[in-house]
Amino acid sequence: MKFIYFVLSLCILAAVPEGMSQQESSQVVNLMIDVSGSATPTEEQSADDRDNIANVYNSMIKDKIPSTMFLTQDVSASSLVLYLTQLGLYGNIEFGMAGNHSDEKLSTMPYKDQRAILESSYSYASAAHVCGKNEKPIRGFKPMSFDQNEDTYKALDDLGIEYNAGFQAGIIYAPGHEDDVWPYPVDGHDFYAVPISSYTVSDSLMPLQDSYFKDMGLGADEWYDALAAKYNEIKGQDEPLVISLTTSISGNGDYLDALKRFIELAKSENAAFVNTTQLVDMTRAGVDRVSAIPVRTSDSAACPDCEEKKSAGIDDDMNIGNASASNETITIFVDMYNSTTSG
């Protein structure tokens, strides 16, 4: 795949609203989004993937709800990365990395192979930005199959990753953390574990992950009921609601309707939405209010080698692009509310 570093001339077809004013709320909601796609999609598959991403994004953008999108290398190396870069220009989204592809089994590989995969995934996910406009440091990782081991942890430490979202409250957890619902530091490592919330359905403890519910043969109504019930169960308690979404599922049909219904419910209860880095920062700082999250001054820092990259036409270690292409100006027309119908 060729990456082109470009100067962006942006024409917005619809004004981005200022969003709702958020009062203080004790209920924190974190939306994690696994972006579905493949490295070599057909034209029809690519259009479907883009529509699904747009539908999930548009369900949040009106109220400027923050979220975290996890990108596999299949996604980051496809044409979808240009669309994701456009969305990232409007803030509220942070990007995390997620290995090569959705059904990857990292634990079957030696450390050397895992390190190479995660380094490559990190580089590709880091490229989803416009230099000088919206640099997005990759702070988080989420193994899309929840498959990992100590070698994975070591590779994450080596890459300086701050959090690992490959955990589920009461289901998949680091030793001694079965009851933890907030992010927690993993002993012997430099990152925080971020557990996805869980809820008991028919006497079974299930992660609040749309793909899990669908794989278990549960419909969108049951998915919404679990989200709403969990929200009401923890309302007023010191527990965040961490939800895992997949664009290929919650980006269309009844599951998209369920997502919209839940967002309306949370908004009506004045919930405080955060991305995953903010959730980790709340734990690290020992605060339970969004307004008390420490400001990261590095977030506004300029890309130190953008001008060098634009001149050379390269992306870090990946020798791609060329000098003539780097000076090309691309005008992107973005319709922020171009959503597709569900069904």
**Burial (CB count <10 Å: 0-12, 13-18, 19+), residue 65:** buried
CA distance 315 to 43: 26
Q: Which two tokens stand for residue 201?
A: 């359905």
3-class DSSP state of 74: helix
For position 25, what pLDDT does the model report? Answer: 61
Dist. CA 58–CA 110, nearest whole Å: 40
Look up tokens 């980006």; give the residue: 251
Q: Quote the distance between the C-alpha of residue 58 and its chain's center.
A: 15
pTM: 0.82
pLDDT of residue 92: 84
Nearest CA to 70 among 26, 104, 101?
A: 101
Helix (H) or strand (E) holding 266: helix 253-268
- CA–chain centroid gap for 222, Å, is 24
Q: What is the pLDDT of residues 207-261, one digit of tens each?
A: 999 999 999 999 999 999 999 999 999 999 999 999 999 999 999 999 999 999 9
Question: Are the C-beta atoms of 287 and 75 separated by less than 8 Å?
Answer: no
pLDDT confidence bin for 298, thresholds 50/70/90: low
Q: What is the pLDDT of residue 229?
A: 98
CA 128 – CA 143 distance, rounded (Å): 19
**What is the pLDDT at residue 202?**
92
- Contact (Cβ atoms closer than 8 angstroms) between residue 232 and residue 20: no
Backbone phi, psi, residue 138, to 5°? -90, 110
Measured in residues, the chain has a length of 343
The DSSP letter of residue 235 is T
Residue 81 has pLDDT above 70, yes or no: yes
| pLDDT tens profile 175-196 | 999 999 999 999 999 999 999 9
What confidence tier does 299 reach under pLDDT thresholds 50, 70, 90?
Answer: low
Q: Give the position of tokens 């880095």.
A: 277
* Mean pLDDT for all residues in the chain: 82
Q: How confident is the model at residue 134 (pLDDT cuts 50, 70, 90)?
A: confident
Residue 76 DSSP symbol = H
Residues 6+ apart with CB under 8 A from 263: 59, 60, 63, 65
pLDDT at 311 over 60: no
* Burial 92-104, CB ≥16 within 10 A → b, else e: bbbbbbbbbbbeb
Q: Using an 8 Å Cβ cutoff, are 56 and 256 in contact?
A: yes
Confidence band of 23 (pLDDT split at 50, 70, 90): low
pLDDT value for 102: 77
CB within 8 Å of 88: residues ≥ 6 apart: 95, 128, 129, 134, 136
pLDDT interval class at 88 (50, 70, 90): confident
Least Cα distance to 241 among 251, 232, 249 occurs for 232
Q: Is the pLDDT of residue 172 over 50?
A: yes
Backbone angles phi, psi at 226, to 5 degrees: -65, -40
Using one digit for the tens of pLDDT, what is the confidence trace for 204-218?
A: 999 999 999 999 999
Q: How confident is the model at residue 101 (pLDDT cuts 50, 70, 90)?
A: confident
**In sequence order, what E strands does the chain have?**
7-12, 28-34, 67-71, 93-97, 140-141, 163-168, 184-185, 192-196, 198-201, 204-207, 241-246, 272-274, 329-334
pLDDT level of residue 306 (50, 70, 90 thresholds): low
DSSP label at residue 92:
S
